[in-house]
Amino acid sequence: MRIGPHQLASSTVVAPMAGVSDRPYRELCRSFGAGLAVSEMVSANPALWATRKSRQRLDHGGEPGPVSVQILGTDPGRLADAARASADLGAQIIDVNMGCPAKKVCRVAAGSALLRDESLVGRILDAVVGAVGVPVTLKMRTGWDVAHRNGAAIARIAEQAGVAAITVHGRTRACGFTGAAEYDTIRAVRRAVSIPVIANGDIDSAEKAAAVLAYTGADGVMVGRAARGRPWLFAEIAEYLATGRHRPPPTAQQVAGIVLGHLDRLHDFYGAVQGVRIARKHVAWYARGMAGFDSFRERVNRAVTAREQRQLVAAFFSAPTTLEEKRVA
């Protein structure tokens, strides 16, 4: 799959997830073969850019390219300025967020709330594409609600504005993350435009990725929540799509190495204090469903130093069994 001048190594993309898709996580998923990893969304409001959170989200030092930065806002001028600033900081792709269903985002008519105003969508995309010399992509939902699935219309507006690729999450804004994703609208979007279309929503296995690609005709898949605690899912999808064979699941010993490596990345990136706090949710995702999970989570959440957290994780994941044997039946 190609986005502008960038030929991606695979057709799998890491979803931008606030509080999850930081640089350590993106780098880890890329190491498992993800062709692209989109950053956590950054507000187009420049007053927020001086915060520690924004500075960390805009830190792409050493990250493998192409670097994709997602911006969020409602004002075409501000979004254009944010795109220029992001490109100056190293972004090689600018992604415009019209897919976030969070209430605090939609309350200010940002994210997926923009889908209600097709004229504004056009003005925003025209402004952002015109502001930068790097490819602009769009992340959107199928529409505002089930009675207003205007994904195909939005896609045509995006293509006309010069957008290089579109990702469609198979739910409306009103759906949030409830119910099952539907792929008919993604299929309609693929038929409506000639630029690459990436399918997103409920893709949690290699077989599901293959089925969604076959049904929608999409050029790639974006994986979000299913890869939390399973970054190797990208390797599983890539191998299945390429060969039709299943990649063996990692053993407990292999998972231990992955988790400890992820901890080291988090501690180095955020520092010991903040890194330990942020790592807790990732450790829980890795360990969920494993025997002794509840007591382990209680212990590891009490750890306050990087060394203590690392020791607890190493002891839990390095038990001499396979991951499959440790899973709760």
Cα(296)–Cα(287) distance, integer angstroms = 9
CB-based contact 35:11 (threshold 8 Å):
yes
Kindly give, in sequence order, each residue whose CB lies less than 8 Å from that of residue 147, ignoring residues fewer than 6 positions away: none
Residue 248: is the preceding peptide bond cis (ω within 30°)? no
DSSP secondary-structure letter at 46? G
| Active site (annotated) includes residue 29 | no
Q: Which of 15, 1, 21 is nearest to 223 (CA)?
A: 15
Separate counts of helices (H) and strands (E) for the chain: 14, 11
Buried b (16+ CB within 10 A) or exposed e, 272-290: eeebbebbbebbbbbbeeb
The CA distance from 271 to 286, in Å, is: 21
Q: What number of CA atoms fall less than 13 Å from residue 2's CA on the CB side?
A: 4
Instruction: Identify the helix (H) or strand (E) that includes residue 127.
Output: helix 118-131
Q: Which residue has the tokens 């897919």?
A: 99
Amino acid at 133: G
Cβ 41 vs Cβ 13: under 8 Å: no
User: How is residue 89 written in tokens?
Assistant: 């900081």
- Which residue of the set 29, 100, 106, 175 is catalytic? 100
**Tokens at residue 146, please?**
């089930």
Distances (CA, A) of 132 to 48, 90, 135: 21, 12, 8
Between CA 116 and CA 120 the distance in angstroms is 9
Return the active site residues. 100
